[in-house]
Structure 1
Amino acid sequence: MKAYIFPGQGAQFLGMGKDLYESSAVAKELFEKANTILGFRITDIMFEGSVEALKETKVTQPAVFLHSVILAKTLDDFNPEMVAGHSLGEFSALVANGSLSFEDGLKLVSQRALAMQKACEITPSTMAAVLNLDDKIVEEICASIEGIVVAANYNCPGQLVISGAFKAVELACEKMKEAGAKRALVLPVGGGFHSPMMEPARAELAAAIEATMFAKPICPVYQNVTATAVSDPEEIKKNLIIQLTAPVKWSQSVNQMIRDGATSFTEVGPGKVLVGLVKKINPEAETFSA
């Protein structure tokens, strides 16, 4: 079975999508439609803007979404039997499997980005990568710290990202190193995503998701929150709302997809981060980049 996977924030690069825009009439039309929906020319920033401008959450998230979704729509042999996306990538996956329209997906991603940016401004928060430490030890250390710090991204064996309030994350990093972590490094991100620090954003996004029409998808989506196959539109919506403050169970999702019959994983979007993680989760898995 063919699985298609969609990257999240952090996969962006300057010039992303320019070749698509120039070589495909379908892609050009969709990019121009996105400029109209967003109310600014995101293509100018993606194709020839500055790295700083592209790094802004309100730009990054729609940019990665657009690159992924438009690339999927221009692939000749795109016929997914299962899909999954990492964090923001879940929205790309839901457009790719027909659960969300292109327009609604883009509007939700834009609202999500703005809500997250606002939440980051309310209370300073951050994330940190922890390498070569057992997941259980990471979880126990987080639970022992005063203040908010939680396991946020289960990326692959030996790579877990923690998230929360600045001081709590820094203290957790010290304890992780003492416990034998190869590295525990605070990341240059806008805030503590996938933690309780995103509660204001979750509340704001919930209203937008509830007001959006979700259809029955052509194939299951393996959602970050459950790491299981979901096809019911109401369940998809519920999990999408929880996603902002809950961990991304990427390792668990990939393992479940393999158990459910995935024979190949194709990453659709900027970069090759996810196929790299898939190989670390299961070295035998067949991987491709679109």
Structure 2
Amino acid sequence: MKAYIFPGQGAQFSGMGKDLYEAHPNAQEYFESANDILGFSITDIMFEGSAEDLKQTKVTQPAIFLHSVVLSKVLGDSFRPDMVAGHSLGEFSALVAAGALSFEDGLKLVSQRAQAMQKACEAQESTMAAVLGLDDNVVEELCEATPGVVVAANYNCPGQLVISGAVDAIEAACEKMKEAGARRALVLPVGGAFHSPLMEPAREELAGAIAATEFSAPRCPIYQNVTTTAVTDIDAIRQNLIAQLTAPVKWTQSIRQMVADGATEFIEVGPGKVLQGLVRKIDNSVEASSATI
């Protein structure tokens, strides 16, 4: 069975999507539509902007979504997923690719999500840190033992977690992780504590937008970050999307469940190759590659 997976924030690069735009007339239509919906030329920034330009919150998330969704569209009849999943932001790309959301509604939600997250970041100084070389339960226990807001946020693959929270709590937790034998515990250059309780204002703001958006039953199950299991129910999809902002991204658990449910081939749709690398570390018995056109 084929599983298509969609990347999240951090996969952007200067020049992303330009090859799709130049090679496929239908891709051009999606890109130009995105410029109209967003009210600025995101294509100019994607194709010609610097890495710094692409780091702008209002740009990063829509850009990755746009690249991923347009790529899935130009794959045409060869895009026949048995299941889909997306890492954080990538969940929106997966839902559009699977027919649960329209392109226009998906892009609007992603833009609103990015802006809501930015506001939450500005409300309180916060950050994230990568922890390498510790078991999940050890990371969880050390987070709980650290005063302040600090939680496990991304279960990327065995031995690779990201923690999220208030700056002082993250710094204190990193010291505990190193003392416990972590190979690395490194504060990341991000502007906020994504997938932590500090995203509650963004969760509340996005909840209204998601409730007002029309969803359809997806063509195949989506394995959502919050539940890690196959979901097709529209109401459940909505609730999981809302909960995702303050809940951890359970990527390791999702991939393992997809394999248990029959996935034998994982195809990454979008910029970068991060997810296929994680898949190989989670289960090296399955194939993992990039979508090609």
- Do they superpose with TM above 0.5? yes
* Structure-2 residue corresponding to 1:43: 43
Structure 1 equivalent of residue 250 of structure 2: 249
Instruction: Kindly state the Cα deviation for residue 51 of structure 1 after the two structures are TM-superposed.
Output: 1.5
Cα deviation, 1:33-67, whole Å, max 9, x if unaligned, reads 00000000000000001211101111000000000
Task: Please tell me whether residue 276 in structure 1 is matched to residue 274 in structure 2.
Answer: no
TM-score by length of 1: 0.99
Q: How does 1:34-73 map to 2 (within 5 A)?
A: 34-73=34-73
Q: Deviations over 1:220-274 (max 9, x none)?
A: 0000000000000000000000000000000000000000000100000000000
Q: Write the distance in 2 (CA, Å) between the matches of 1:51 and 1:280.
A: 28
* 2:91 aligned partner: 90
Root mean square deviation, CA, Å: 0.5
Number of the residue aligned with 1:133: 134
In the alignment, is residue 17 of structure 1 matched against residue 25 of structure 2? no
Deviation at 1:155, TM superposition (A): 0.2
Distance in 2, matches of 1:246 and 1:84, equals 16
Instruction: Tell me which residue corresponds to 1:167.
Output: 168
Q: Which residue in 2 is equivalent to 1:3?
A: 3
For residues 181 and 58 of structure 1, the distance between their equivalents in structure 2, rounded to whole angstroms, comes to: 34
Provide, for residues 80-118 of structure 1, a one-character-per-residue CA deviation record: whole Å limited to 9, x for no partner: 110000000000000010000000000000000000000
TM-score of the two chains, using structure 2 as the length reference: 0.98
Tell me the percent identity: 74
Q: Which amino acid aligns with 1:60?
A: T
Q: Please tell me the residue identity of whatever aligns with 1:20.
A: L
Question: Counterpart of 2:285 in 1: which secondary structure?
Answer: coil
Letter in 2 for 1:16: M
Q: How does 1:95-110 map to 2 (within 5 A)?
A: 95-110=96-111
Question: In 2, distance between residues paired with 1:145 and 1:57?
Answer: 29
Matched residue pairs, number?
290
Please tell me the residue identity of whatever aligns with 2:206: L
Q: Which residue of 1 aligns with 2:201?
A: 200
- C-alpha separation between the residues in 2 aligned to 1:146 and 1:158? 23
| Distance (Å, rounded) in 2 between the aligned partners of 1:54 and 1:121 | 19
Per-residue deviation at 1:190? 1.6
Residue 135 (structure 1) shift: 0.5
CA distance in 2, matches of 1:79, 1:147: 45
**Residue 203 of structure 1: how far off its partner (Å):** 0.4
Aligned 1:171-182 pairs, distance under 5 A: 171-182=172-183
The one-letter code sitting in structure 1 at the alignment partner of 2:269 is V
**What's the offset of the Cα at 1:284?**
1.2
Q: Are the aligned partners of 1:57 and 1:190 in contact in 2 as well (CA < 8 Å)? A: no
Aligned residue in 2 for 1:267: 268
Structure 2 counterpart of 1:228: 229
Cα deviation, 1:118-170, whole Å, max 9, x if unaligned, reads: 00000011000000001101000000111000000000000000000000000
- State the match for 2:289 in structure 1: 288
Tell me the distance in 2 between the aligned counterparts of 1:221 and 1:170: 35
CA distance in 1, matches of 2:29, 2:104: 13
The SS at the match of 1:246 is coil
Distance 2:31 2:100 in 1: 20
Distance in 2 between residues matched to 1:50 and 1:223, nearest whole Å:
32
Moved over 3 A (4+): none
Amino acid corresponding to residue 44 of structure 2 in structure 1: D
Q: Give the Cα separation in 2 of the matches to 1:56 and 1:197.
A: 20
